[in-house]
Chains A and B, each alone.
Chain A
């Protein structure tokens, strides 16, 4: 009986995802009739500039939204289970700050290091690598600390402290850097789904796929971890190895996504909670695909709102996700009076 309700829920979500995907493509600063969009997607070209907008701008942006939403949602889900904390997420645990710090050093630190590496360092790839390394490093430090302190609140506070430290370093760096460097950094900081070419999207997709595959291989482990580490060990789980796989997976997902799309707030924290509300289970075999779908759907909706259809303005995506994500978290806390995971 329960399985059929879940099957229905999944069918509804998949339909919603398809609808949101097409809605997202059909909206933009230039209004393109639906018929022309379908024709372009299925290979009949009737207007080359429309075709250019759809194929080279809107489609990659929609795919990026799906990758960003699902990837951040899943990395948040894994972190909430791993850290036994409903507030865990890429943002709170300092992973995003780590990525920001990496990007700040590459974009702004070059004036300190010296001008000669400037050309190589400010390419998109150096930003990507720096952000991934930064997030991985922070997550590793948080984890080492987590194995020393048992108190989960302490871990969260440490994560927040990392946020402060990296913010401070960014401030120091920005004091010494030029206007253009500052601009590069701050535009990255606003978050953007629309800057990716197909080539970049491919790289993002490959890294994301590795992260997703690792998370799929961790489904059973994640379920075991719901009992706590001592019980998990008594069930024959190799804690150190599974922890490492989960951490590599989350930092690949959160790190690369943050690198390519900038820091996207609240998706990683809020999506897993919304999923748990809808599916009322703790089993990751259901939660993981459901988080994937919900993350993708909500990110597509946020992006559709951010581009303010039929206007020339585009809002920073980070602001939209915060405006939607923060109230959801507050609403969950008020309604349930406690956050469970």
Chain B
């Protein structure tokens, strides 16, 4: 990445995340300082229960930060109203959509909702964007299929197309590769890398596919019990961060191959 085109899209300052219940703060992770730039693909990794989802929920304003600030395009997240936020951040969640009876085209069209009028009339621009996204994600043939007819891999592509159609600067995906086979895991992550490059959107995804992420992302957010580290994968390997991810009794990180191995 060259320095001249680096435009900061999302920035956190001393962010602490966690839960508040009955005046009691449960901090899950603190001192999070990350800077996401235009056109970057960022992976978010960490063990189960370490706070990946909490971070995603905080960044998307589903829950409030305990401390610190989040800025999207230099605007404080707390001051962005829901509709404006919908034009800045789009989501791909782990939970299934409510109606599987939607056709692929209808589903992708729903991504245009924040941009349409009260009854949802599509302008020519909306239609062009929808067609372009169908092409970018390579699902034009599926256009008229119903969602219940799709495989998990196809459905994930459709969900990504819907987020793309929302035409936001940031796309956040919560574990987009769970439920997929090895080929489709790689396919989806590779697709995300390509989309970040081609569309200039900032794409953040959480994943357990650490070895794949290392190969594809620009930067990684690694959450461990002690700290949150944000850096390029090669630097993280040099620092030996990956060996602090999990308990050391069973698996060990192999720096040469960039993947975990089971201890013999």
Binding site for B on A (CB under 8 A): 81, 84, 217, 219-220, 223-231, 233-238, 276, 281-283, 285, 340-341
Contacts and interface: CB of A to CB of B under 8 A. Distances in A.
Contact of B119 (A219, A234, A236, A341): A219
Pick the 7 closest A-B CB pairs, nearest first.
A236-B86, A236-B83, A340-B101, A228-B98, A226-B99, A220-B120, A84-B98
A283 B83 contact: no
Centre residue among B98, B102, B103, B116 by max chain A CB count within 10 A: B98
23 contacts: A219-B119, A220-B119, A224-B113, A226-B97, A226-B110, A227-B98, A227-B99, A227-B107, A228-B95, A230-B91, A230-B93, A230-B95, A233-B62, A234-B93, A235-B111, A235-B113, A236-B87, A237-B82, A276-B101, A281-B103, A281-B106, A285-B119, A340-B99
Nearest to A283: B106
A340 B98 contact: no
B45 interface: no
Contact of A217 (B84, B102, B118): B118
Contacts of A227: 97-99, 107, 110
A4 B140 CA distance: 22
Given A84-B98, A234-B60, A340-B148, 8 more contacts: A220-B116, A220-B120, A225-B98, A231-B93, A234-B90, A235-B110, A236-B84, A282-B106
Contacts of B18: none
A333 to B, nearest CB: 15
Contacts of B114: 235-236
A282 B103 contact: yes
A282 B146 CA distance: 10
Contact of A231 (B97, B106, B118, B119): B97
A81 B166 CA distance: 22
B10 interface: no
B113 A282 contact: no
B85 interface: yes
B127 interface: no
A236 B97 contact: no
Interface string B151-174: 000000000000000100000000
A19 B210 CA distance: 66
B100 interface: yes
Given A220-B119, A236-B86, A84 B60 contact: no
Nearest to A219: B119
B99 A341 contact: yes
Contacts, number: 81
Contacts of A283: 106
Contacts of A84: 98-99
A215 to B, nearest CB: 12
B44 interface: no
A226 B118 contact: no
Nearest to A82: B98
A340 B149 CA distance: 12
Nearest to A228: B98
Contacts of B116: 220
Contacts of A234: 60, 86, 89-91, 93
A231 B91 contact: yes
A225 to B, nearest CB: 7
Nearest to A217: B118
Nearest to A83: B98
B119 A235 contact: no
A323 to B, nearest CB: 27
Contacts of A81: 99
Contacts of B84: 236
Interface in B89-145: 89-91, 93, 95-103, 106-107, 110-111, 113-114, 116, 118-120
A236 B82 contact: yes
Contacts of B86: 234-236
B178 to A, nearest CB: 16
A340 B100 CA distance: 7
A226 B98 CA distance: 5
Contacts of B62: 230, 233
A48 B234 CA distance: 95
A224 B106 CA distance: 11
B69 to A, nearest CB: 21
B68 to A, nearest CB: 22
A233 B62 CA distance: 9
A230 B98 CA distance: 10
Contacts of A220: 113, 116, 118-120
A227 B102 CA distance: 9
